[in-house]
Structure 1
Amino acid sequence: MLFVAVLQLALVLHVRTTLVDAAAEGARLAARADSRAQDGVARTVDLVTSSLSDRYASDVTADTIRRDDVLLAEVTVKAPAPVIGLLGSAGTITVRGHAILEEQ
């Protein structure tokens, strides 16, 4: 049982880390002066589907936010938490990537 719990934790951390990296890369693309928010979404979806699966890239959004008088591109990914076997509930993982907009 302990082995399965450790395996489950490792799988969830792998998925979360991959999603964080993809969201950050999408935000960096969306923040470029020659790009749009949808370019960041498309890049994030491409990275998630090539690294994990299509089901983890079904809810990706991008927006522009203001934090401390700085405009940021924000890419948000909401994905199901992976579950091994029937133990536990699936739940969702929500991650966000940010980058400073070049147009400022």
Structure 2
Amino acid sequence: MPQRLAQEESGSAVAEFVMVGALLTILTLSVIQLGLVLLIRNTVLDAAAEGARFAALADNGLADGVERTSQLVTVALGPSYAEDVSASYGSYLGHPAAIVTVRAPLPLIGLIGIEHGLEVEGHAAVETLD
């Protein structure tokens, strides 16, 4: 009887290794993908904030902020992430502000993902010479 049980369990270590290995591989790739998404989001958000600060300067306009944001995103991530950048004047926390909005792809598998799935805004108080 014990000899029969030993024969039935042969090969189970290999099957367990494959199942656990596949699970750990999926988990590792998911964490790496999450890190990539957060890197892209933070980079685009920082570029939008810098573009808003640039547009809010007294001698600059919205077009300058859009251009600055596009340059920063293009250098950091590539031109496909800087295709939809817009700017406007508005109010943020009750103060006049320059608002730069960037819509970029949201990567789901590697860099492939949902077009315009990520939208961030950068705000900066408008500077005046009064």
* TM-score, normalised via structure 2 length: 0.73
Give the root-mean-square deviation of aligned CA atoms. Answer: 1.7
Partner of 1:50: 75
- Equivalent position to 2:44, from 7, 19, 31: 19
Gaps of 5+ in 2: 1-25
**AA aligned opposite 1:15:** I
1:90 and 2:114 aligned: yes
Larger radius of gyration between Structure 1 and Structure 2 = 2
Residue 69 (structure 1) shift: 3.9
Partner of 1:3: 28
Q: Which digits, 9 at most, give the CA deviation of each residue in 1:41-86, with x for residues without a partner?
A: 000000000000101000000000023541100000000111325x
Gaps of 5+ in 1: none
* TM-score, normalised via structure 1 length: 0.91
Q: Which digits, 9 at most, give the CA deviation of each residue in 1:22-56, with x for residues without a partner?
A: 00000000000000000000000000000001010
Q: Which digits, 9 at most, give the CA deviation of each residue in 1:77-96, with x for residues without a partner?
A: 000111325x9x62510000
Partner of 1:101: 126
* CA distance in 2: counterparts of 1:90 and 1:2, whole angstroms: 22
- Equivalent position to 2:98, from 55, 70, 73: 73
* SS of equivalent to 2:122: strand
* SS of equivalent to 2:108: coil
* Higher helix proportion: 2
* SS of equivalent to 1:33: coil
Percent sequence identity is 48
Aligned length: 102
Q: Which runs of 4+ in 1 moved over 4 A?
A: none
